[in-house]
Every structure is written in C-alpha cells, then in structure tokens.
Amino acid sequence: MRNGISQMLLYPLRFEPIYQYRLWGGRRLGDLLTAPLPSGPVGEAWILSDRDDHPSRVADGPLKGQTVGHLLAQFPQQLLGKLAGRFRRFPLLLKFLDAHEMLSAKVHPSDANKSLLPPGETGKTEAWVVVEAAPESRIYAGLKPGTTPDDLRRALTNGTVADDLVWFSPKPGDGVFVPAGTVHALGGDVVAFEIQQNSDVTFSLYDWDHVDAKTGQRRPLHIDQAIACVDFAEDGAAGLVTPVVEATTPAERERLFHCEHFWLWRLRGQSPFTVGAAGVPCILVCIEGAGQVEHLGANYAVGKGDVLLLPAVVGECTFHPLGAVTLLEIAVPD
C-alpha cells in the first residue's frame, strides 16, 4: 500500500472537522457542518490542521484517513509546488468558531517574540470572516490609541479592560484582521471562519470572570507574557477591513486579506468560475450554497462548511455552483 500511495497523484482533498470543547462555545456549528456535534459547548471546529495533537484527515477518496502531515511528507512537491521546502508542516490553521459567550481578551506573539515561542512554534497572525452575528455580538480588536502598559495593568487590576479596547458590533460578511500583538476578543453569539498561522500560542489577559464548568475553576491567565508581546504602537491595521473588488464576472471576487502569511478572497456567483492556481496550493471553504470542483473529468462535491485543499499539482479548476454560492479562496504567499 505504501508503494501505491507514493505513486499516487493528489486530487482535491476534503477533510473532516475536528470539534473542540470550549466553555464559551455553543451548538450552532451543527447548522454549518454536517458532522454531528459532540455533547456540550463546542467552540471550535478545526477544518484544516497540521498539528500533532489534532491532525486533519482526508474524508474520502483513495487517501481517506491520511493526515495532512503525512501527505506533506510523502508528496511535498505535489502538495506545495514551488513552496515545497519552505515549511516543515502546512503553514495555516483553519477553523470555524462559535463564540456564544465572550472569549478571553488575549494576544498572540509575533515571529519576532522568539523568547515567548515554544520550540517549533511560530507567531500567530489571524483573521476572521463573520458568518453569523446577533444584536448583542461584539468584536474587540486593538487597544485605544495612547494606551500604555501601565494603563493596561491598571485596567486588569480594576476589571475595566474593556474600556481600553476598540470594539464594534459585527455583521455577517465582515472581515476582521488581527495581526500578532493585537489584544482581541469576540462573543455574544458570533459564528466566524478563522484563518491563522499554524500556531497554538495564546496568552490570556482577562477572562470576564468565567468559570469552567468542567473544572469549577477560573482559567489561567498569562498577564506578563501577554503584555510582553502586545503591540502598543499598532499601526491601525487591526479590525474591520474594506473588501477590494477585483472582478465581477463570472463571479464577484473580493480580496479581504493580503498579508505576509495568507491571502484570502471571497467569491460569490451562480455561473461556473475558475478556482486554484498553477504551481501553488489553494484552499476553498464553502460559506453558503454548494457546488462541484471539476478536475481531470471528475467532480468533487463541496457543501456548506466544507473545506477543500487543491494541491499545487491540481492547478486551476472549474467550480460549478448549484445555485448561488459563497466561497473563500485562500493562498499561501509565494
């Protein structure tokens, strides 16, 4: 079987979601994804993960059950194309979030915060695309201008951290950029897609007095580490982004995020349109509707909540919508 796998040509790869318990989670990911939810509050579905503790597995086809990490080791050129050799693991981690309650106010280190990164980890710049929101929903992204480390420590002591944060009421379709070093939180019934560097390093500043029902304890905070990596001189990049319309036919194509770690576009249409690119991998995430990716005469179904990795060897494909569809298309910068 190993020889058979090593000779195989990669095809569009769909992955099973990996659900994660979070005390702030809810049950609404069951409306977005077809895999049944486990019991209790589910805050995250990891939909593409090359992490040792939670590896994504191919959902169907000849490579069903294979992990992303195994495929990267076995087929580096097929999977990554001209990016092969740059990454020891797939460089992005993709999730859906169901923030029923407010997440802790937290911050992620950047690649420059070497002393705060465990061995093998990177910094963590991330971004969100809001899928659902409610009247009480809030997103916090960044400190108010002029906030100092002393101000932040004082607010932590007084329980007034929210007063030092920039916030807004999100609506479906909003794109939110959260560069490393940005204090951020979201909650109040927000469902969002999250894209990030493949890192799991988080430092919590403030947790709104939550108590974990599983342990009966408050969750640990990491105040000194968090403040050490906060960007107090942030340049205003954090927060809501303005989409840039790059095309209107045969599908509307909007660029939401274009940073050194990931590029992301939103595609909306009802007629067939092109996805993917020659020589580099591409990821499709279906936010609304359904359709099929055509490749080498075969059709690969994509439904709401599905993620499909197009290996570099697959190149450009035609997406055939089944009615109106909204896709996120993601690339790793080359």
Position 45, amino acid: A
pLDDT, tens digit (0-9, with 9 covering 90-100), for 39-82: 999 999 999 999 999 999 999 999 999 999 999 999 999 999 99
pLDDT for 6: 61
Say if strands 175-178 and 239-240 run parallel, antiparallel, or are unpaired.
antiparallel
pLDDT for 234: 83
Is the pLDDT assigned to residue 329 strictly greater than 60? yes
pLDDT, tens digit (0-9, with 9 covering 90-100), for 11-26: 999 999 999 999 999 9
Is the pLDDT assigned to residue 1 strictly greater than 50? no
Is the pLDDT assigned to residue 204 strictly greater than 70? yes
pLDDT, tens digit (0-9, with 9 covering 90-100), for 148-157: 999 999 999 9
Q: How confident is the model at residue 4 (pLDDT cuts 50, 70, 90)?
A: low
How many whole angstroms separate alpha carbon 323 and alpha carbon 299? 16
Q: How confident is the model at residue 235 (pLDDT cuts 50, 70, 90)?
A: confident
pLDDT for 211: 77
Residue 140, token pair as written in the block:
């916090």
pLDDT for 218: 82
pLDDT, tens digit (0-9, with 9 covering 90-100), for 274-295: 999 999 999 999 999 999 999 9
**Residue 45, strand partner residues:** 19, 96
pLDDT, tens digit (0-9, with 9 covering 90-100), for 78-108: 999 999 999 989 999 999 999 999 999 999 9
Percent of the chain with pLDDT over 70: 98
Cis? peptide before 250, omega within 30° of 0:
yes
Q: How confident is the model at residue 3 (pLDDT cuts 50, 70, 90)?
A: very low
Q: How confident is the model at residue 7 (pLDDT cuts 50, 70, 90)?
A: low
Complete domains list, the chain, with CATH: 2-240 (2.60.120.10), 244-331 (2.60.120.10)
SS3 track for the chain: CHHHHHCCCCCCEEECCEEEEEEEEECCHHHHCCCCCCCCCEEEEEEECECCCCECEECCCCCCCCEHHHHHHHCHHHHHHHHCCCCCCCCEEEEEEEECCCCCEEECCCCCCHHHCCCCCCCCCEEEEEEECCCCCEEEEEECCCCCHHHHHHHHHHCCHHHHEEEECCCCCCEEEECCCCCEEEECCEEEEEEEECCCCCEEEECCCCCECCCCECCCCCHHHHHHHCCCCCCCCCEECCCEEEECCCCEEEEEEECCCCEEEEEEECCCEEECCCCCCEEEEEEECCEEEEECCEEEEECCCCEEEECCCCCCEEEEECCCEEEEEEECCC
pTM summary value: 0.94
